[in-house]
Structure 1
Amino acid sequence: MRFTAVLFRQHIGFHFKKHWITQGKRVPAETGAQTELAARGIPVVDPNELIKTKREFVPFEIVGQLPPKVKRDVNHPLYKSEPCYLFSDGNVLLEGVKQAQALLNTVVYDELPLKVEERLESTKIPTQLERSMQQSVLAALVFDAEQVKTAIVKVPDRPAFKLPRNYGISNERKNRLLLSKLLIHCERFAGKTVTSTRKIIENVNFIVPVTKHLDRIQFSLKADTFMTSTGPITPLDSAVYRPQDQNLPDLFPVKETVTIPTTNFYEWHNDYPIARDYKFSHPHTIFLHCAPEDVSNLFGTPVTDDQREGRALLKAFAVAAARARQLYGDNVKVLPRPITVQAIQTDSKWFQFGIFQLNTLDLTGTDMSENRNLWFRKPKMDLYSDCGYLVGKPSLRDYNKNVLKHFAVFYGSS
């Protein structure tokens, strides 16, 4: 039996509270100080007369620090009479990948391209590098010294109930540390020859406006980590991967833009954040964070794996389309040379790998059209089953070495 502190009948907090109430009713005793001051000719002034003195308020403006408030009405500089569907980072599509296919005129393959699969089979990661990666996972997810309030965890059966929040490493920091560790090990595996042709940039924004069925749609999305290269990834031959042999999903009775919010305040322009003449301007791979607090449905239901994959597909399209507009102009439809972008999405435990090839910006393709975009995907895989302290000791269970192998192959793609 566990012994506890002795509890008294009179709660000490209640006692002090009542004591202050009783003491507050006491009348201050006359000390004779005012009479003594008057006898010495020292005036006594009531402090309330000084405190309540009314002063005229003179408004003034701080130049250059506080921007003027602009009302969001028809006089706003970004106001457009025609509304626009605006898809941003925190949103997901209702139907996930199917809706992304219909929206972006894209066909899906449930495997990676053949040349990538062959490289995966032939790639062997050294045992020493695998052991180093396991220690890096523990360093990023367990040993880091950050202590902040972690994200809110909800019970699905009780949506209104919130569990107590713990202190620990935030999901955003876990993702960033883990991705940096994986990229470092990929650089060690690939060698200086490949590493010298890569550049890594953090928090890069892309803006792509498109029009489909007279609807304006704008993608304003961010790549948490963006890897560029000195040369583009070699596109796949559409004669081998025949997109016209597949049918696009039918979303009837809903529209392709369902759950995408609309706005009248936007700037209709294309934005690829890297200059065209820069040596490392070609897009290579985007790394995306997808923690539970990063995305949500407009109607409050839990986000599914299919919706997360649709989010990665849209982000890969935004990167490729922004680059295509920069190279070939704002009016380009069928690209002279397709643009390929690799996408890796994670929440620091599971990983999704995909490859997107942009062939056309004409999103209203027919059923038998050869000009369609391609999306190659791999089933979601876990890096581990459990990572944390077990009986007071750091533990990493069921480490999956295929994750680092896929990273290495994606890093070395050219």
Structure 2
Amino acid sequence: MAAAGPMALGRAAARGRRAHTRGVLTRAAPPRPRGPLPRTPWTTRGPPPEELARRVERRPVREQVELDTVTYAGRQHFVPGLARPRFPPWERGWHDPRHWRGPRYEEMPLYNERSCFVYQQRVRMLEGVRQAQWLTKTKLVEGLPPPVLSIVHDPAQQLEEQEERVKRAISHARFWDTTEVAPMREHYCPVLFEDLIHLCRSMTPKYPSLSKRILARNYRVAATWERESILLQVRGLNGILMNSMAPIPPVASKEEVLATEEHVLETFYPISPTIDLQEVNVYKELNETGFRDGYPYPHPHTLFFLESHNHRPKRFRPEQLRAKMLMFAFGNALAKAKALYGNDPKVLEQPIVVQSIGTDGQLFQFMVFQLNTTDLVSGDGIKNLVWIDSDQNLYEKAQCLPEVKKRVVVKPAGIYGFQPDTFKKFLALYLHGAV
């Protein structure tokens, strides 16, 4: 028999050891603490740091060569992996309005380093009336002022068959002036407004001064002021303005105006008072009423805001609408005050009163604003005053189609929940200053 080789003897010895330890229970030895591994020679890990530092010092400095960007300009088509070429602007030699590019803001002549925060007709204030109060330095009084309430409660200042005529105006807007079963809000809201204004004009034979008024549409107002180192501006299109030849007399007495010095304006920290306002750097500090000098109806009387959009998300919520009414009433009053008394901040000897009415064709908001001062930088001193009567329904529902159940008319078509006091307030604001 041939002798076994060394590899066969090694495998036999290993099998013998496994067979010897198969029935014996062994215990693993604890791991030995390992120290740092010995350093490998240079051929494997490189030289030590000291030798590398010496080599770097002896190495000559090489100048870094800038590489040119390789683009696909010469190919005249897109090539993956190559950079996009940039060409100088092409000068056509003639003005093409379709490809006209305006100058940068910094190059415009009206550019200013100081930012201006602008309130325009589509701004929705986050904090509503509270934010508008702080911006305009105004104290809020709930309800309508006594001169207006005296007109509301006076039966002599009402129309003949007033309730029936108002109901006919609502029916005309909601049922009759349309070929549709249920007209859209953007249709019946302006129609209702025109009908209510027509009813108010019918008082002209009794009060001839009502004929010295006019409605202005699509005019632009601009008023600029400073509030605690913040430059603010109200400008642009707003509601329908009714102008008059004579101003509205002050609503609050001098004692009530002086009592506003103790009022502390409400803050809403940490929210910034300029949140939602448009920040611009290209502007001009303007104070314009929107009408030329010599206009026969120079005094603002009442602003009308019609929120008649069909989609609810695009309409102003009542709180936002009241803030909009306050901001534009203040803007018209401030522009008129600066036209009369100059741009210097001062307490007005004759306060300026501007009214405002907002509606969506069903819900009405009433406001009377009195501008007492143009010194608006500090929160101390005399404040302006505003009276607000909010969320007044003219009617609760206009049933365009009868409600039928089991072939029986349960609820006929018509106007439901009519509230005559709402039109009384509408008429009182119209007559204010003429009665």
Offset at residue 286 of structure 1 (A)? 0.5
Give SS of 1:379's match: strand
Q: Residue 243 of structure 2 contacts residue 300 of structure 2 at CA under 8 Å; is this kept in 1?
A: yes
The count of aligned residue pairs is: 331
Q: Residue 90 of structure 1 contacts residue 294 of structure 1 at CA under 8 Å; is this kept in 2?
A: no
Q: Which residue of 1 aligns with 2:83?
A: none
Q: Distance in 2 between matches of 1:306 and 1:325?
A: 29
Q: Which residue of 2 aligns with 1:86?
A: 118
Q: Distance in 2 between matches of 1:132 and 1:77?
A: 56
The amino acid that maps onto 1:410 is L
Give CA-to-partner distance per residue, 1:211-260, whole Å, 9 cap, x none.
Answer: 12222111124332111111111113130353234321122222321221
Q: Which residue of 2 aligns with 1:178?
A: 192
Q: Distance in 1 between matches of 2:311 and 2:129?
A: 18
Q: Which residue of 2 aligns with 1:44?
A: none
The amino acid that maps onto 1:413 is H
2:250 is aligned with 1:203: no
Give SS of 1:257's match: coil
Q: Residue 123 of structure 1 contacts residue 405 of structure 1 at CA under 8 Å; is this kept in 2?
A: no
The amino acid that maps onto 1:246 is H
Offset at residue 205 of structure 1 (A)? 1.9
CA shift in 2, pair 1:296/1:245, >3 Å? farther
Q: Residue 70 of structure 1 contacts residue 76 of structure 1 at CA under 8 Å; is this kept in 2?
A: no
2:354 is aligned with 1:325: no
Give CA-to-partner distance per residue, 1:1-36, whole Å, 9 cap, x none.
Answer: xxxxxxxxxxxxxxxxxxxxxxxxxxxxxxxxxxxx
Give CA-to-partner distance per residue, 1:86-108, whole Å, 9 cap, x none.
Answer: 11111122111111111111101
Q: Which residue of 2 aligns with 1:112?
A: 144
CA shift in 2, pair 1:303/1:178, >3 Å? closer
Q: Residue 284 of structure 1 contacts residue 342 of structure 1 at CA under 8 Å; is this kept in 2?
A: yes
Q: What does 1:209-228 align with in structure 2 at a 5 Å threshold?
A: 209-228=224-243
Give SS of 2:351's match: strand
The structure 1 residue matched to 2:256, chosen from 221, 235, 240, is: 240
Q: Distance in 2 between matches of 1:294 and 1:214?
A: 38
Give SS of 2:254's match: coil
Q: What does 1:69-218 align with in structure 2 at a 5 Å threshold?
A: 69-123=101-155, 125-126=158-159, 128-145=161-178, 169-191=183-205, 193-218=208-233
Q: Residue 80 of structure 1 contacts residue 265 of structure 1 at CA under 8 Å; is this kept in 2?
A: yes
CA shift in 2, pair 1:196/1:254, >3 Å? same
Higher mean C-alpha displacement, 168-177 vs 332-341: 168-177
CA shift in 2, pair 1:198/1:171, >3 Å? same
Q: Distance in 2 between matches of 1:338 and 1:190?
A: 27
Offset at residue 332 of structure 1 (A)? 3.7
TM-score of the superposition, structure 1-length normalised? 0.72
Q: Which residue of 2 aligns with 1:409?
A: 428
The amino acid that maps onto 1:233 is I
Q: Distance in 2 between matches of 1:287 and 1:146?
A: 27
Give SS of 1:243's match: helix
Q: What does 1:7-406 align with in structure 2 at a 5 Å threshold?
A: 69-123=101-155, 125-126=158-159, 128-145=161-178, 169-191=183-205, 193-235=208-250, 236-240=252-256, 242-291=259-308, 304-367=317-380, 369=381, 371-391=382-402, 394-406=413-425
Structure 2: tracts of 5 or more residues without a match:
1-91, 404-411
Give CA-to-partner distance per residue, 1:74-119, whole Å, 9 cap, x none.
Answer: 1234432222111111112211111111111110111222122122
CA shift in 2, pair 1:332/1:383, >3 Å? same
CA shift in 2, pair 1:217/1:128, >3 Å? same
CA shift in 2, pair 1:332/1:174, >3 Å? farther
Q: Distance in 1 between matches of 2:118 and 2:221?
A: 13
Q: Distance in 1 between matches of 2:348 and 2:394?
A: 37
Q: Distance in 1 between matches of 2:339 and 2:191?
A: 32
Q: Distance in 2 between matches of 1:330 and 1:144?
A: 48
Give SS of 1:203's match: coil
The sequence identity of aligned pairs, in percent, is 25
Q: Distance in 1 between matches of 2:99 and 2:285?
A: 23
Offset at residue 203 of structure 1 (A)? 2.5
Offset at residue 269 of structure 1 (A)? 1.2
Larger radius of gyration: 2
The amino acid that maps onto 2:178 is A
Q: Residue 142 of structure 1 contacts residue 394 of structure 1 at CA under 8 Å; is this kept in 2?
A: no
Give SS of 2:106's match: coil
CA shift in 2, pair 1:95/1:73, >3 Å? same
Give SS of 1:195's match: helix
Q: Residue 381 of structure 1 contacts residue 403 of structure 1 at CA under 8 Å; is this kept in 2?
A: yes
Offset at residue 366 of structure 1 (A)? 4.0
Q: Residue 90 of structure 1 contacts residue 295 of structure 1 at CA under 8 Å; is this kept in 2?
A: no
CA shift in 2, pair 1:99/1:173, >3 Å? same
CA shift in 2, pair 1:401/1:60, >3 Å? farther
Give SS of 1:277's match: coil
Offset at residue 61 of structure 1 (A)? 5.2
Give SS of 2:118's match: strand
